[in-house]
Amino acid sequence: MNGPDTTGRDATEGARRAADEAARICADLIRFDTVNRGEGAARPERPAAEHVAALLDEAGASATVVEPAPGRASVLARVPGTDPAWPAFLIHGHLDVVPADPAEWSVHPFSGEVRDGCVWGRGAIDMKGTLAMTLATVRRRLREGRRTRGDLVLAFLADEECTGDLGSRYVAREHREFFTGCAEAVSESGGFSVHAAGRRIYPIATGERGTTWLRLTARGTAGHGSKPAPDNAVAEIAHAVSRLAAHPWPVRLTPGVRALLDGLAGALGTTIDHDRLDAEAERLGVAGRLFAATIRNSANPTRLEAGYKVNVVPGSATAQVDGRYLPGTGEEFLATVDRLLGPKVTREFINHEDAPAADPAGATFAALAAALRAEDPAARPVPYVMAGGTDAKSFHRIGVTSYGFAPLLLGPELDYFGMFHGVDERVPLEGLAFGTRVLDRFLDTR
């Protein structure tokens, strides 16, 4: 690393300025309505993307805006490092957010209002706050003439809250040159504090469940609703989704989840009975929520469609299912689904993505954990497998391993999981300041 010495007073001023910038950028990004309702019903990310590109350009990081469909824009940038032979490193995140009903909120969800020491609005946690920390940190480092050893690649993406077809999948396929030499990355959903048993646990995501969104179809004989209908498509689809919903998926302890359980046991000073994990998750409270949804596969019916008139038996009926499977269990998952559906119901993929995993014992995890401990000596970092999915899946396809790391120091009164896609989403100003310092420390190791 080269550039001016940023210890002492200069470092303190640089950190303060980055924290102020992170708060301001977060509020500004929230004010861009980038709601993604899925299946093409999305607000354009273009205005937010242009704002991000301007912030990068102003700092000297030449940004490129790419747009696979009108308005659905992402931002890419590559900041040269000091050693061309050293591996590049990727930070990626998404510009879109899920919907929010203003009638349910204490403040308008797209106001970016600062109140009670927090920035409020949709995306404060997921994940415009993280984008703001990233931008503020990168801008600080460029101002101070500090570069990572390898190239630093930045991707601010569209469409994560749907399939990523117009965001991460598109850039990984059509703009692969930006990611040349990248082997590892960080992104959302990890590095936040969880208060449990008087300790601060920081889960760092080292994997996530695979995604299998399915469309199920049952076909039968159309006819009058008053006549016997032994080949009733609506009944067949209803029976099929009922069997899926009622299925008791067995516990499957993957290496990532075992590492989490071991880490939690050590951090909390307790033992965790692997034969009673549902009960243990309940006993451990908020810490148990870190593994409750990742000890087994799941298949949740989410949509049903059939018919057009009450006295007409339709010839077909469909359902949609959100399936999630643990690393290494994809074939078992689909075989179980097929058995439960039975011979009269067919399935097709709406979206199918592998379950990526990273090394919880490797140098990058150690560097992430060390950055947290440097800013919070009480931090207890543990590996963590996410129940949901992120853009990490798209980059996994091109050989980039992602860790979930969006560092935030949260007070015990703030429920991170509850704010994720929830009402009154907000991020503390002090949490953003903490995150910028942690990210800066971590980038010193790249």
DSSP element (H, E) containing 203: strand 199-208
> Do 227 and 349 fall within a single domain?
yes
Do 287 and 236 have their domain in common?
yes
DSSP bridge partners of 406: none
In this predicted model, what pLDDT tens digit does every residue of 181-214 receive, in sequence order? 999 999 998 999 999 999 999 999 999 999 999 9
Q: Three-state SS for 76?
A: strand
Q: Are residues 166 and 39 in the same domain?
A: yes
pLDDT of residue 4: 44
Looking at the DSSP bridge assignments, the partners of residue 348 are 215
Asked if 140 and 79 touch (Cβ cutoff 8 Å), the reply is: no
Give residue 19's domain range. 8-189+390-443
Q: How far apart are CA 149 and CA 264, in angstroms?
A: 33
Q: Which of 353, 375, 407 is the last residue of a domain?
A: 353
Q: Which of 247, 377, 251, 256 is nearest to 323 (CA)?
A: 247
Sign of CA dihedral 151, 152, 155, 156: negative
Looking at the domain assignment, is residue 426 inside a domain? yes
Q: Given the structure tokens 């470092």, which residue do they identify?
A: 11
| Res. 5: pLDDT tops 50 | no
Q: Are 59 and 185 members of one domain?
A: yes
H or E stretch covering 243: helix 233-246
DSSP secondary structure letter of residue 71: T
Q: How confident is the model over 231-245, as pLDDT tens digits?
A: 999 999 999 999 999
Maximum CA extent, the chain: 85
pLDDT number for residue 38: 83
Identify whether the C-beta of residue 166 lies closer than 8 Å to the C-beta of residue 68: yes
Does 295 lie in the same domain as 236?
Answer: yes
Same domain as 16, residue 112: yes
State the pTM of this model.
0.92
Residue 341 lies in a domain: yes
